[in-house]
Structure 1
Amino acid sequence: MAYVFPGTQGIGEIGEQLELDLTPEEVSEYHAYLSALTPAFHLIEQLPDETPPVKYPRTPGYRPEGSENQHNGWVVKSTIKGAAKGKLKGKTLAIKDSVNVAGVPMSNGASILDGHVPDFDATVVTRILDAGGEILGKASCEYLCFAGNSVTGVNGPVQNPRAPGRSAGGSSTGSAALVAAGDVDMSIGADQAGSIRMPASFCGIVGLKPTFGLVPYTGVAGIEYTFDHVGPMARTVADCALLLEIIAGEDGIDGRQRNVEVQPYTKALGRGVKGLKIGVVKEGFGRPETEQGVDNVVRTEIKRLKSLGATVEEVSIPWHNIGSALWLPIGIEGSYHNIVRGHGVGYGGIGAYSLTYMKAFESWPAHAAELAAPIKAVLLSGRVLERHGGRLYAKAQNLRRRLRNEYDAWLQKFDVLVMPTTPMTATRYPA
């Protein structure tokens, strides 16, 4: 709706809500003072929005059914052909439904966003098309991307193509399932708490959560500004490296990106592992939730790498087990503020806000009862954390520096740190 500045009564009511204890004279004075700001706000309303350009034609697409969507991995099919030539020429891709594709419906897995259509492409989408890739549509994801069991998305459960009746993981659920099924060569996923890595593990494909800020998050629905990541998923390491090579690098928009260093990742392929220094993280094995078969497979592969010339040593990172605890206040309170205070996009120098997404998101309180269970849990626990003055969120942000430093100390000695991606195989659907 158009910006409207309230009358003196409205200012008085806002003052009461903020417990400012204003006298009637002060209410009148503040009203007169703040009224002078209104012309600037009206000016901003009248100016055209600054959105990234849309370069390639497309249609809204359609919802595929039956054999065309065997594993329920597609939300929308809409073919978008990229440039006539480029590194991705001949490659087909699916885009997670939390990522803007202009003119194509985007629900972010949520019923509350039904009918939302972005008006600009995410940077990663533009880069894929510029490189000659062909996008075939939008891939299913969990409800607002806040689950990992592949059943919370508005269009229903996504089947694991390699293990029927079991979860495809989440929240980049369809992105993994479509690649594993061979429906596309590659896909784009997003990751805040394992949302690329878990479905890649469960579906037996390659998924990479890139270094924070390496790939621009511009045009992707976020959960918490300090750990939003977007990255590549594919059937092979080579294709994953190729896609990363295309999408990585600063775009001049995303505030998460500072002095980003990119490399020709595909040139690292085929070198072998002779001389590679591998640190095996003790805390990644033998966990309470571990399936012994998973540990055995990973340790067998480590032995194979050693036989090929890598050096292997077990290391201990005690704070590895603190990491999930640190994630909780950051993930929960950060997400709570993103939903309740941040209009679904938050505040943090994103650089390209989607006004259409914010408009679609604003009606969520009227439909709160239909939110998925994980979102309701976030709202309830987020309100509890907020009542504690944000202290746990702030302290967890401080402590994660120590966690990062513990990893970095070992990465000064080893090229890679190794552990199972998930300590179990694909799980059965929850009740």
Structure 2
Amino acid sequence: MTVSLPTVDQILNIAGDVGLALSDEDARSFRSLMRGPLESYARLDQLPEPRLPVCAPRDPGYRPDPADNPYNAWYWKTDIRMPRSGRRKGLLDGKAVAIKDNICVAGVPLMNGSALLEGFVPDVDATVVTRILEAGGSIAGKAACEDLCFSGASHTNAYGPIRNPHSPTHSAGGSSGGSAALVAAGDVPMAMGGDQGGSIRTPSSWCGIYGLKPTWGLVPTTGAMPISYSMDHLGPMCASVEETARLLSVIAGHDGWDSRTIPAKTQNYMKALGGGVKGLKVAVLREGFAHPESDPDVDRKVREAIAALRASGAEVAEVSIPQHYDGPHIWTGIILEGAAEMMIKANGFGNNVQGYYPTGFISAMAKGYATRLDDASATVQLVLLLGEYLHRQTHGTYHAKAQNLRWSLRAAYDAVLADHDLMVMPTIPFTATEIPPADCSREDYVTLALNMQANTCPFDVSGHPAFTLPIGKLGGLPVGMMLVGRHFDESTLIRAAEAIEGQGDWMKR
């Protein structure tokens, strides 16, 4: 691709768009000044581009037939593993892992749930994919997800809704709905998810599996499509606490391509298993309960699980953090303009971030926006329209203020965690909602996609690790409890989750 010198008319058109008054003579002058900088672009065309490693051979796999994909949870199926000659035993030896379809697997189609990326095939493996393969795991395929991940339910995927294995008429949750449904259905023991507002924890809660949003910066996002640089997380979604500890052990840690991982501090997550909760100080967050939309029976189930923690030797006390109620507002202030500027207007990956830029992915996004934006979900279109409106009206000042307020929210949680080992609350205030009909109103479509994040999105803002675990069912639908810990202290959450896992008759009611 060669960048040609703009014509005088093109320069005048650009000047008009940005509000700059130029004469024809001015435009000719600027055109002359542009020759020098564009020589650098000509040189860039000649330089070889570094690429992320692809460590295992593979064929492209296939799109499964509906009969073999009853929950629409697979986007693509594969069987990728290290060759026997290069294979070594690791924590994931013999484990099949599903990869959320916003994460690159070289040679395997990536759609990110969206018509905008239909037909795109990346040429790199994300860092987490390489780490899984090197630890002995196999890549079983790509798990379907929501349209560009802009939904907490599971009805915006371009190929149709992802269904909950516990009740196929209900949502699997989003945006990592396919990952949760595949684990819940027993197709795989573990999957990779992504989380910017609750997208690991919501589907894990609604599908009755274990889902851990790690501390921001612990797990590299290199090779995964972002939404907002300051809130992007990748993490494990698994059938058990032990599987979660295994997968986290493999994917966590500094990655030279991702500057967010510079402060990453790993722990021995496997050693945390069996640690129990005796002596742990547990804070029950008052503001995590009794939201206007809360189901009182969900609150009751969570309090039963908290009682089980106390019975196992934990010290339990209720705390109040009024700022928790402002978390969703701060999150909205960051995510709307952040996503519109970085993910939509900047073709997926933004700029001015020190990290790896998959140029083929960026080109595919640009083409999709230019040709298929009308095919995007209403949630994507809403973010684009509202994010652009806010940018034009407020010039980024509210986004900036929300970014500043995130530190106040983080400090409020840290103050409680200075005296307690973890906080607990319901993951989602209610159980899985029904999948809306295809002919529902735009208002219902969007509301059902975004109405469940009161307890999840604040911790994307603050960056604290948050782990949802299943604690039983109501009306046949799973209920999740969320544990929130200190930054880079996932081990304590694993200890507490394992103490709850499989406990008592109350788990079966």
Would you call these one fold, judging by a TM-score over 0.5? Answer: yes
In structure 2, the partner of 1:54 is: 54
**Contact 1:75 1:138 (C-alpha < 8 Å) held by counterparts:** yes
CA-CA distance at 1:328 after TM superposition: 1.0
Report the counterpart of residue 422 of structure 1 in structure 2: 428
Q: Secondary structure at the match of 1:189?
A: strand
Query: Are 1:225 and 1:348, in contact at CA under 8 Å, matched by a contact in 2?
Result: no
Q: Deviations over 1:346-388 (max 9, x none)?
A: 1242511111111111121332211101011111211221122
- Read off the aligned partner of 1:401 and give its amino acid letter: W
- Residue 384 in structure 1 maps to residue 358 in structure 2: no
Q: Which amino acid aligns with 1:185?
A: P
Which residue in the other structure is 1:393 paired with? Answer: 399
Asked if 1:19 corresponds to 2:19, the answer is yes
What is the rounded CA distance, in whole Å, between the counterparts of 2:364 and 2:28 in structure 1? 35
1:32 alignment partner in structure 2: 32
Q: Which among 232, 246, 254 is matched to residue 236 of structure 2?
A: 232
Q: Show the 5 A alignment for 1:21-420.
A: 21-82=21-82, 83-363=87-367, 364-387=369-392, 388-420=394-426
Letter in 1 for 2:413: Y
Structure 1 range deviating more: 415-424 or 252-261: 252-261
Q: Is 1:163–1:426's contact at 8 Å kept on the other side of the alignment?
A: no
State the Cα distance separating 1:285 from its structure 2 match: 0.6
Cα 1:179–1:386 shift into 2, 3 Å: same
Secondary structure of 2:247's counterpart equals helix
Question: CA offsets, 1:60-103, max 9 Å, x none?
Answer: 11111134212111000011013342110011110000000000
Deviation at 1:158, TM superposition (A): 1.1
Aligned residue pair count = 431
Q: Does the Cα contact within 8 Å between 2:200 and 2:213 map onto a contact in 1?
A: yes
Q: Which moved more, 1:25-34 or 1:390-399?
A: 25-34
How much does 1:12 deviate?
2.9
Report if aligned partners of 1:147, 1:170 keep a CA contact under 8 Å in 2: yes
SS in 1 for 2:194: strand
Give the AA of the match of 2:48.
P
Which stretch shows the higher mean deviation, 39-48 or 131-140?
A: 39-48
**Contact persistence 2:116–2:365 (CA under 8 A):** yes
**Whole-Å Cα distance in 2 between the matches of residues 38 and 346 of structure 1?**
21
Q: CA deviation at 1:248?
A: 0.4
| 339-348 or 372-381, which deviates more | 339-348
- Are 2:154 and 2:171, in contact at CA under 8 Å, matched by a contact in 1? yes
Cα distance per residue 1:94-136 (max 9 Å; x no partner)? 0000000000000000011111001100000000000000111
CA distance in 2, matches of 1:350, 1:180: 37
1:167-201 Cα deviation digits (max 9, x unpaired)? 10000010000001110010000000000000000
Letter in 1 for 2:323: W
Q: What is the rounded CA distance, in whole Å, between the counterparts of 1:67 and 1:31 in structure 2?
A: 59
Contact 1:283/1:317, CA 8 A, preserved across alignment: yes
Comparing 23-32 and 321-330, the one that deviates more = 23-32
Give 3-state SS (helix, strand or coil) of 2:244's partner: helix
Which one-letter code corresponds to 2:49 in the other structure? D
1: CA distance, partners of 2:24 / 2:262: 48
Matched residues in 1 for 2:354 and 2:189: separation? 30
Does the residue aligned with 2:142 lie in a helix, a strand or coil? strand
From the superposition, tell whether residues 113 and 332 of structure 1 become closer, same or farther in structure 2 (CA, over 3 Å). same
| Unpaired runs of at least 5, structure 2 | 438-509
Shift of 1:11: 2.3
Segment drifting more, 399-408 vs 82-91: 82-91
Which whole-Å CA distance do the structure 2 matches of 1:283 and 1:340 have between them? 34
SS of structure 1 residue aligned to 2:170 = coil
**Contact 2:75–2:143 (Cα < 8 Å) also in 1:** yes
Q: Which moved more, 1:5-14 or 1:132-141?
A: 5-14
Tell me if the contact between 1:329 and 1:385 (Cα under 8 Å) persists in the aligned partners.
no
Q: Distance in 1 between matches of 2:166 and 2:196?
A: 24
Secondary structure of the corresponding residue to residue 236 of structure 2? strand
**Structure 1: which 5+ residue stretches go unaligned?**
none
Q: Deviations over 1:305-328 (max 9, x none)?
A: 111110000000101010001111
Distance across 2 between alignment mates of 1:152 and 1:23: 48
Letter in 2 for 1:311: E
Task: Report if aligned partners of 1:96, 1:172 keep a CA contact under 8 Å in 2.
Answer: yes
Equivalent residue letter for 2:376: L
- The alignment partner of 1:138 has SS state of strand
Task: Please identify, of 225-234 and 350-359, the stretch whose mean Cα deviation from structure 2 is larger.
Answer: 350-359
